Amino acid sequence: MFAQIVKDCDSAMANLQGVTWSDGTERGKLTRTAAAALKGKALLLWASPQFNPTDNSAHPYDASRWQAAFDACKAAYDIALADGKSLMSSYESIFRTEELPIQRLLLYALIRHLWQSVVTM
């Protein structure tokens, strides 16, 4: 299941390289940055105890999943920066900022959440 999600995200990232959308008519379409963030989130879930338990001999714990999740989240952050995106200084400021398209705000929140999840592991 997770292998297919990662494969689909990698494919989307490759196909969306250099693609930009018109904000007026195509707002909300998937971007390379969003695909990278989704990949990071999926790998975080795959590494989590829900899918990577430490006490189940039928499914042995795999610590390398955490490194894969970290690498994907770091890549998503780097892609966002390269695409001219940046994180908001604080989560609460998202709701106080006007004139930014909502999908960008949601992406900022997602990437910030992913990055903080990895950093605090």
CB 12 within 8 A of CB 32: yes
Per-domain boundaries in the chain? 2-15+29-119
pTM over 0.85: no
Hey, what are 57's tokens? 């001999």
Q: How far apart are CA 94 and CA 102, in angstroms?
A: 9
Burial class (CB in 10 A: 0-12, 13-18, 19+), 14: exposed
pLDDT digit string (tens) for the chain, length 121 residues: 889 999 999 999 999 998 887 766 766 788 898 899 999 999 999 999 999 999 988 889 999 999 999 999 999 999 988 888 877 777 777 667 665 554 455 565 666 666 666 555 5
CB 54 within 8 A of CB 47: no
- Helix, strand, coil percentages (3-state) for the chain, rounded to 5, are 60, 0, 40
